[in-house]
Every structure is written in C-alpha cells, then in structure tokens.
Amino acid sequence: MAPPSANRSGSNKKAQLGLFAGYLAAGLGATLGALLLAISLWRPETFNGMRSMASDAAAPVGEAGAATRVGSRNFFEAIAGYYNAGSKNAELEEEIQIARVRLAEARALEQENERLKAVLELTNDDPPPVATARLIGSTSASTRRFAYLSAGTSDGVTPGMPVTSPLGLVGRVLETGRETSRVLLLTDTDSVVPVRRATDNTVAFAEGRADGSLRIRLINLGINPLSEGDIFVTSGAGGLFHPGTAVAMVSEVTDDGAIGRLLSNPAATDVVIVQPIWQGETLEAMEEPLDTEPDSE
Amino acid sequence: MERLSPSARRDAYGSKINRAHSPVLAYGVPWLTIMIACLVPLLPIIALAPIVPPLGYLLLLGWRLSRPGVLPMWAGLPLGLFNDLYSGQPLGSSILLFSLTLISLELIEIRFPWRSFLQDWLIAALFIPIYLLASALFSGAQIGFDQLPILIPQCLLAVIAFPIVAKMITLFDRLRLTRVKRIG
C-alpha cells in the first residue's frame, strides 16, 4: 500500500516539522531503550518490581489458559461418555471405568517405580513444601529460560527457593510478585547447580545451555569417569538446593564432563513444589557482617 | 426503474448509510492486537528452548507493512516496554529493537512506496533473523558461537508464520474499519 500523503512533506513547512518530530521521537525512543538495556544488563535486578507487577496483572490470563486446558479435556471426556452410555449397561460401564482408572493408576505407579528406582529412592526425606503451584507459562520466544509460577509472596515464596517436581529439580525462584513468581529454569545459561553422581561422590557443576540440555562440568579434572546413563543429583553444596534431588542423566560424554538430559522436563510437569532453601539460616548468618569487635567491658 | 449499485449502500465494512468508522477502533485495534500478542509467554507452553515465534514483533511488522499510517514512529517505545515486561528479555531490549525497526521501515517505505505481499514478506524475512539474533545477544544469556544454531528453528518458524500473521491482520483490519458509529 502506498504511504499516506503525510509521508511526503513537499514544501509544506508544517508537514516537514511533523515528519522531523516523528523521526526525533522515534530516535529518542531508541536511545531510551538502549539506556534502559544498558542499565538492566549492568544491574539485572533494577526493574524486577515493575516486571513482577506486570506478571501479577496478567496472571489470570495464564491461569485461565491452564484451566481451560484441563477443563476442555474433562469436557470432551464427558461428551464421549454420554455418547456411549446409551449402548451400554450402566453398571458395566461403571465397572469398566473403575477398572480403567485402576489400570491407569497401576501403570503410573509402575512408571513411577521405574523412575524412582533409577534415581535410587532419592526423594525420601523431602522437607515440607512451602507451596504447591502450577507453571503458568515460560518465556518461550526468548533465549532466556524463565517460567512463571502461580504462587508468590502471599504463599510464602521468596527468591532463591528451589522448585521441584516429583521427577526432580526444575529450577529456582528468581523474583516474586504477590501472586506470581519468576523461576530460573535449569536450562538457562545463568543457572549453575552443584551436583554429584548418584552412585558415588563425583562432584560437578550442571550449567544450562539454553537449548534444553545441561553441561556437566567435573570439578576434579583427570580421567573422565562418566558414562552414558549416569544420574546426577544435587549435592547440597552452596546450601540452596536440598541434597539428593534428581537433576540430569548423562546423554553424551565430552572431554571435560558430559552433556546431560534433564530428568524433570518442565514441559511435562504441570504442578510443581516450592521447597524452602535448604540451609536458609546458615546462608543468612553468613551474609550478616561478623561481630569482630568484642565488648570492651 | 434504475437500480443502485450493490455497493452503494453496503460494503465489506458494513452499512454506509447512517454509520461511520469509530476512531477508537480504527486507532486502537493495532495497538491492542500487538499487546495481546506480546502476552505469548503466558501461553501454557513450557519450552525448553526458544521455539515460539516472537508474535508481538511479527504483528508489529505486519501492521506497519500493510497499513503504514496506523502506527506512529514512536510506537516502539510503549509497545517495546510492554513486550519487555513479559518476554523475559532485559528491559530495554525490545524498546530499542522495536524503535529501530519502525525507523528503518520508514526509510524502506520512502524508497519503495508500492510493494506486493511478496516484497513485504521478504522485508519481514530480513528483519526477523536480525531481531532474533540481536535479542539473543542482548538477553544476557551466555551463548557461545557454537550455540547460535538453537535460534534457527525459531527463525524459520517465524518467517513461515509471517503470511499467517499477515492474513490475521487483514481480518483485524476489517474489524478495525467496521462502521459502528451512528451518525445523527
């Protein structure tokens, strides 16, 4: 489409000025953007409040999305059940339903058993969770890997808390709003988790690679003892993550470690658990300045 | 008896008699649709890698290319700010990129005022990879040179999605120009 005549100023002084003002405003906008970008790269936490307010405001959209997903499944099931009901004995139907549920439960149990065996009963002594919440979205268009969680400060969530699913670690809380919080997923390149091999004490760091896999970097360099299929769990070093939560499985061995596959794929997890920081008191005590001056009396 | 032409009283935008376009719709629909598209991160998709096309940016391109008059040149500031609040990028990255996009589209517009859809698509296919690459650089994620291929699927998806987005924009455009205001 041809541009409106406003784009051709000609010798019209007013139109020339208007056009100039447009370029000026756009240029100022770009400059402001560059400044804000520089500030937020230099001090990433500067605009956290604004962002969590915005995600609080839009949380109902995400909740509605998650709810319709669950609702529509039930809706279709309901229609299907109604459609078949005429041709079947009601009693038989009920029995079959129960049997199906039992079978599904048994299958789920079987699968869970397999997985738990694989990670060597690692989730036995979990601390009581802070909150149970839903992952309502993720920054699926950006290179950063954040997820939005449907629990915030009103549920007792604070930044730094680990987020887990029954299958393993998902990430940790980065910033909190009143009703939502932002979670740094394990696959973000800023995420580093101290891990150890489940079978022995080979310690390593699991770093995100932004493409869905983790890079496992061994701390003690030497002969690489890893092999495909090794399971890594959190080691508890650093005091943030509860030790023994499953993290990754080695899928490819490299020179200085391995590439790992996430055990707890956040795409497949609906409900997650927010855990307290493992050694929160110790960490707080470490951050306070030491009382070096003894009382003079 | 002479007959009126069928388009004399009605056209695709509704009755021509006693009705006029609403300025709120005519100017508001582009802003509103772009802002809704910026809310894509709240879709219940938990992605392990960047894969979903940057819908807000695609709509901005589409509106600006098909309807040059509806978005002022400074629109990159408010729309970019809104996008930054949800996209997970550091604040300021979309403000900068949206503004630069609008300025460069203005320059392209002056050089090529009459374009076909294919040319629009070509322009979009040029802008989208630059936008994604710049976003990845500005995101603060430590992405090495060997990891840049993770952007390729998203890039291709976004380029392929552009005609669909453009088609959607024509539907929104019809809504935008519907005559809803009563005169007299």
Residue A130's pLDDT band (boundaries 50, 70, 90)?
confident
pLDDT of residue A25: 92
Cβ within 8 Å, pair A37-B91: yes
> In angstroms, rounded to a whole number, what is the distance separating the alpha carbons of residues A137 and A150?
9
pLDDT of residue A287: 67
Cβ within 8 Å, pair B103-A30: yes
pLDDT of residue A55: 80
Residue A83 clears pLDDT 60, i.e. is over it:
no
For chain A, positions 193-222, list CB contacts with chain B under 8 A: 209-212
Burial class of residue B147, CB neighbours in 10 A (0-12, 13-18, 19+): middle
Residue A92 clears pLDDT 70, i.e. is over it:
yes
Give the 3-state secondary structure of residue B88.
Answer: coil
Residues in chain B closer than 8 A to A21 (CB atoms): none
For B7-43, letters b (16+ CB in 10 Å) and e give eeeeeebeeeeebeebeebeeebbbebbbebbbbbbb
Q: Which two tokens stand for residue B145?
A: 């040179």
pLDDT of residue A73: 42
Amino acid at B62: G
Residue A147's pLDDT band (boundaries 50, 70, 90)?
confident
pLDDT of residue A74: 44
Look at A2-11, A12-21, A133-142 and tell me which has the smallest mean pLDDT: A2-11
Give the 3-state secondary structure of residue A267.
Answer: helix
CB neighbours of residue A125 within 10 Å: 9
What is the least distance, in Å, from the CA of B26 to any CA of chain A? 15
> In angstroms, rounded to a whole number, what is the distance separating the alpha carbons of residues A207 and A188?
8
Mean pLDDT for the stretch of residues A267-271 = 72
What is the least distance, in Å, from the CA of A154 to any CA of chain B? 20
Give percent of chain A with pLDDT exceeding 90: 7
> In angstroms, rounded to a whole number, what is the distance separating the alpha carbons of residues A121 and A19?
69
Cβ within 8 Å, pair B92-A34: yes
Q: What is the pLDDT along chain B (184 residues), one digit of tens a residue?
A: 677 787 778 888 888 888 888 889 889 999 999 999 998 877 776 777 788 889 999 999 999 999 888 899 899 999 999 999 888 888 899 999 999 999 999 999 888 888 899 999 999 999 999 999 999 888 877 777 777 888 888 899 999 999 999 999 999 999 998 888 888 7
Cβ within 8 Å, pair A44-B90: yes
| DSSP conformation class of B73 | G
Interface test with A, best of B27, B35, B42 (most A CBs within 10 A): B42
> In angstroms, rounded to a whole number, what is the distance separating the alpha carbons of residues B166 and B58?
9
- Rounded to 10 degrees, what is the CA torsion of A232, A233, A238, A241? 140
Cβ within 8 Å, pair B72-A22: yes
**Residue of A152, A264, A147, A143 whose CA lies nearest to A211:** A143
What is the least distance, in Å, from the CA of B2 to any CA of chain A? 35
Cβ within 8 Å, pair A147-B39: no
A41 touches chain B (CB under 8 A): yes
Residue A30's pLDDT band (boundaries 50, 70, 90)?
very high
Residue A81's pLDDT band (boundaries 50, 70, 90)?
low
B45, closest residue in chain A (CA to CA): A137
Give percent of chain A with pLDDT exceeding 70: 77
Residue A239, CA atoms < 13 Å, CB-side half-sphere: 9
A260 touches chain B (CB under 8 A): no
What is the least distance, in Å, from the CA of B17 to any CA of chain A? 26
| ipTM computed for the complex | 0.81
Nearest to B90 among A23, A40, A267 (CB): A40
Q: Where are the alpha helices (DSSP H) in A43-186?
A: 48-85, 90-118
Cβ within 8 Å, pair B85-A50: yes
pLDDT, greater one: A99 or A193: A193
**Residue of A199, A211, A28 whose CA lies nearest to A121:** A199
pLDDT digits (tens, 9 = 90+) for A183-241: 998 888 888 999 988 888 788 999 988 777 888 988 887 788 888 888 888 888 888 88
CB neighbours of residue B100 within 10 Å: 22
Interface test with B, best of A140, A163, A215 (most B CBs within 10 A): A140
Residue A139, CA atoms < 13 Å, CB-side half-sphere: 25
Residue B71, CA atoms < 13 Å, CB-side half-sphere: 31
CA distances from residue B120 to A220, B124, B130, B175 in whole angstroms, order as listed? 55, 6, 16, 22
What is the least distance, in Å, from the CA of A68 to any CA of chain B? 10
Residues in chain A closer than 8 A to B48 (CB atoms): 145, 185, 187, 211-212, 262, 265-267
A39 touches chain B (CB under 8 A): yes
**Cα torsion A86, A91, A96, A101: sign:** positive
Contact call for residues A215 and A232 (beta carbons, < 8 A)? no
Mean pLDDT for the stretch of residues A124-151 = 81
Cβ within 8 Å, pair B41-A38: no
Residues in Cβ contact with B21 at an 8 Å cutoff, skipping those fewer than 6 apart: B13, B177, B178, B179, B180, B181
